[in-house]
């Protein structure tokens, strides 16, 4: 999965979004040993979206599936920014940066059944209407409020210089009081 730009890796990632969803479930439960591989899967997924679109019409559905997975995992990835492990925090930043790069992706929205399941979590997303910046910012605000309400430190939550969002610590403090 580390060689995410090879055709073989893209095919694996692209054809396994439901497996990726299960493989990334429960992040932060077992600490660094389990969280790092899950973040690596998310990073490979985020980086695969753009090249998958180069597959043409068939790539649109795959990109939507991968984007759906990423959208489901944004809140947990943001929570990883406060992880005690510097490696987990750095990889979380990398994943979020890669997700933000998908902002330029365009696709159509078509509901679809997978294995006879018409579950909304499996519907195609319209990548034109996904506002990754807003989604990440909303998760950051929630995480800040959650940490403040539980008396936890926000030491690492605001030390990200690689992701450029318009969220300020003062806004979280003032909007929570």
Per-residue pLDDT tens digits for 85-144:
889 989 999 999 888 887 655 433 343 333 444 444 434 445 555 788 888 888 888 888
Q: Is 164's pLDDT higher than 80? A: no
pLDDT tens digit string along 14-27? 677 778 888 888 88
DSSP, res 160: -
The pTM assigned to this predicted structure is 0.69
* DSSP codes, 39-102: HHHHHHHHHHHHHHHTTTHHHHHHHHHHHHHHHHHHHHHHHGGG-S-HHHHHHHHHHHHHHHGG
Q: Is 154's pLDDT higher than 60? A: yes
Question: What is the mean predicted confidence (pLDDT) over 6-17?
Answer: 66
- Residue 148: pLDDT band (50, 70, 90) is confident
pLDDT given at position 60? 83
32 burial class (0-12, 13-18, 19+ CB within 10 angstroms)?
middle
CA angle 84, 162, 9 (to 5 degrees): 85
Contact of 145 with 176, CB cutoff 8 Å: yes
Token representation of residue 31: 């600490």
Q: Compute the mean pLDDT over every residue in the chain, rounded to the nearest whole number.
A: 72
- What is the CB neighbour count within 10 angstroms for residue 85? 15
């Amino acid at each position: 999965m580390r060689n995410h730009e090879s055709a073989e890796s893209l095919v694996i990632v692209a054809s396994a979004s439901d497996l990726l969803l299960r493989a990334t479930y429960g992040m932060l439960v077992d600490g660094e040993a389990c969280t790092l591989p899950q973040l690596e899967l998310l990073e490979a997924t985020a980086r695969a979206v753009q090249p998958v679109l180069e597959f043409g019409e068939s790539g649109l559905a795959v990109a939507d599936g991968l984007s759906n997975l990423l959208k489901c995992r944004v809140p947990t990835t943001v929570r990883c920014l406060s992880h005690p492990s510097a490696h987990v925090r750095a990889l979380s930043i990398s994943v979020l940066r890669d997700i933000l790069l998908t902002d330029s992706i365009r696709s159509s929205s078509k509901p679809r059944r997978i294995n006879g399941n018409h579950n909304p979590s499996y519907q195609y997303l319209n990548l034109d209407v996904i506002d990754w910046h807003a989604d990440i910012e909303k998760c950051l605000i929630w995480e800040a409020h959650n940490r403040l309400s539980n008396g936890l430190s926000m030491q690492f939550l605001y030390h990200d210089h690689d992701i450029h969002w318009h969220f300020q610590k003062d806004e979280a403090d003032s909007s929570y009081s």
